[in-house]
Structure 1
Amino acid sequence: MYSCQGLRPIPSSTDLHSRERREGREAVVQRALSSLMFGHEPKGWNFTDTPTDRGRRFLQLLDAAAFGTPHPEPARLVDEFELPGRHVDERAGSPDFAVLCSDRMLLIELKAERGSHTPGQCERYLDLARHHYSHHQIDLIYLTPTMPAKDLHALPEGSRYAHLAWPVVLPHIAAAWSRSDHPAERELTALLAEYLPALDQPRNPRMPRPTSVTATSANGTEPDPAPTPASDRAPVADRVLRVAVRVQGDRCQRGVDLPAEDLETLDAVRIQVRDLLRPGPVHEGTRITHVQPWIWRAATSTGKPLTNTGRDTGYEMRLSYYTAPFADIAERAQ
């Protein structure tokens, strides 16, 4: 799991409001809650730490609201929790939070928009968690704006599920932090007291996020040309192929800085790029036969991040040259 040297302070409400235009309302709520529970802003996806006493109190109140009796054991909290796919062609899952105990895992998935509900998402998280943590009780709390309750089509054995709306959760946030001795915690508590009820209202239009792909060679000696204006940018697939041509030619791995809101999105892009490269496409006169994507992880991979995404999150997609043709590798993986 990804950690960092030094801790970021709890962000201000002004900072979180400024992020809304770039990242959306869900990112604001997740970052506010994670910062309150950790007592500092997390850095990177799959970041783990022990919640503060107030953070643990909130988690116990939330647990009790969902399942009746909170788990008594001290726990570790993970922000943007990684649930790997069971094989290379299966997309990973990334619930917003995971609370880890020796015999239980509590997953928490947040939604700030009614329309962002994805059928089957919660079932997939429970299924992946049951696969990777077969000896744990697996529970999931689904937190959303006020909306009809979403039942699951199937619930794995040894699992529980609860759907709570933000108005139910807001008093527990106040109980945990409204009387905090830390001004930054009180500020975020006040922010959420106004922000969460507003999630029942239609959101303001978001500024579109530009689609771009930049690449850096592993030795840092061959940066890509400066990005072209948005109106002239090639599609993402074309830009990925341009990077793959360079990797095919000099056998030097490169990080690809793709816009991804979370780990799950990044892994979905990896699968899309894998499918793009699998048939050996020809680009700029070069057939790409030995290049495939993979996810670099700061916690388990060697070297340093090559992209802004890697530096910020601890994860990035890379393209590497493999001695065996990609088609042979893909066939063996099936």
Structure 2
Amino acid sequence: MTIEDPLHLLGRLRLGREEYCQRLLTMLIVGGPYPRWHSRTHPSPQGARFLRSLDELSFGRSDWNGQPLFVDEFELRPRHDDEQGGAPDHAVLWTERLWMIELKTESSSHRRDQLSGYYALASHHHPNLTLDLTYLTPPLTFTPPTEADNRKFAHVTWARVLPLLQDAWGQGTDVERHVLTTLLAALDSIGSSWSDWRAQRVSTRRDEPPAIEVQAMALAEATAKDGRQRAVDHPAADLEELQRLRLTLRQAICASPGQSPLHHVQPWLWNLTTSGGRALTTSGQDTGFELRLSRYQKPVC
């Protein structure tokens, strides 16, 4: 399978600038199609060269011990049902180290507790690993998370990474150079209107479906009545969007009045790797994750 054409991707999914740049960079790193979320792959030789350079830029080192695994949308599950969970955009894994990479193109998408939350969840789920985190953004002022003996943090701007991208893929195949050129153009558009940039390249007219929260709640009500497990077919831009939707839906269900049968419905994230079975939706087939609704005999909230 080959890398998807960037303009086809732009028209196929309604992605923001941040998610679009992430997907283009991921395809370059793996040297192939965009992988399912949280799946382990080996970076291509050019992808490994880029990651090593970014590691050195971030932490002053690139002394890799063996070939690491690369993960797009690295799932950090919630520690309890009323926690959202997290999903750093990228992760690089060794037997002794977890390096998380969070990408931003919009300063407005910075969330105060996001980075410290990644450390907290990663420490919980991977207590024996050294934890490092690179925050790759436009120029941004913020309070960095606290460092500790077993974890490091680096803030890197896109301007410093552009030469690394050129070095890795500037002399690549025609497909790689096309993806790189589109990625650089999207990064160059930071600070301008993303909808205008996108509209100049693809047609954006389509009928707007009902809000996904409304659709999901309707499915939850149907499951509360007949007990049949359902899945929400939502092409989320990233795993954290799906995690937020799960928590929002749980909160709405738990806020239902009195003895509502909705209290027996649990929203949860199906994962192709760990949950077993097959995806029930197109988005689940594409990403390996989907939001499901199951009814239980006892109330879940």
TM class, shorter-chain normalised? 0.7 to 0.9
| Cα distance change, pair 312–144 in 1 and its aligned pair in 2 (3 A) | same
| The one of 320, 323, 329 aligned to 2:294 | 320
For 2:92, which of 75, 95, 99 is the aligned residue?
Answer: 99
CA, structure 1 residues 289+130, in 2 after alignment: closer, same or farther (shift >3 Å)? Answer: closer
Distance 1:37 1:139 in 2: 19
- Measured against aligned partners, the alpha-carbon deviations of 1:138-164 in whole angstroms (never above 9, x if no partner) come to 11111112x144331423441111111
Higher Cα Rg, which structure: 1
Aligned pairs for 1:23-172 within 5 A: 23-73=15-65, 74-145=67-138, 147-172=139-164
Higher RCO (Cα < 8 Å, 6 or more apart): 2
Find the counterpart in structure 2 of residue 275 from structure 1: 251
Q: Report the alpha carbon displacement of residue 265 of structure 1 after superposing the two structures with TM.
A: 1.6
If the length of structure 1 is used for normalisation, what is the TM-score? 0.80
Distance in 1 of aligned mates of 2:140 and 2:231? 42
Pairing partner for 1:184 from 164, 175, 182: 175
1:64-85 Cα offsets, whole Å, 9 max, x none, are 1111111322100001110111
Checking the alignment, whether the CA contact within 8 Å between 1:49 and 1:78 is kept in structure 2 is yes
Given the superposition, is the C-alpha separation of residues 187 and 237 from structure 1 closer, same or farther in structure 2, using an over 3 Å criterion? closer
TM-score by length of 2: 0.88
Aligned length: 292
**2:156 is paired with a residue of what secondary structure?**
strand
Choose from 273, 282, 291 the match for 1:308.
282
Residue type of the alignment partner of 2:252: L
Note the residue ranges of structure 1 that are not aligned, 5 or more in a row.
Answer: 1-7, 208-228
Pick closer, same or farther for the CA change 1:10–1:119 going to 2, 3 Å: same
Q: Is the 8 A contact 2:115 2:145 kept in 1?
A: no
Tell whether the 8 Å contact from 1:281 to 1:289 is kept in structure 2 after alignment.
no
Structure 1 residue 282 displacement after superposition: 7.5
**Match of 1:5?**
none
Q: 2 CA distance for matches of 1:277 and 1:91?
A: 15
CA spacing shift, 1:255–1:186, aligned 2, 3 Å? same
C-alpha RMSD of matched pairs (Å): 2.5
Is the CA contact 2:213–2:245 (under 8 Å) kept in the aligned structure 1?
no
1:225-304 correspondence to structure 2 within 5 Å: 230=208, 233=210, 236-258=212-234, 260-281=236-257, 287-304=261-278
- The percentage of aligned residue pairs carrying the same residue is 36
Query: Is residue 193 of structure 2 the alignment partner of residue 203 of structure 1?
Result: yes
Q: Deviations over 1:17-50 (max 9, x none)?
A: 436x810111221111111110102232112200
Specify the SS of the correspondent of 1:23.
coil
Structure 2's unaligned 5+ residue stretches are: 198-206
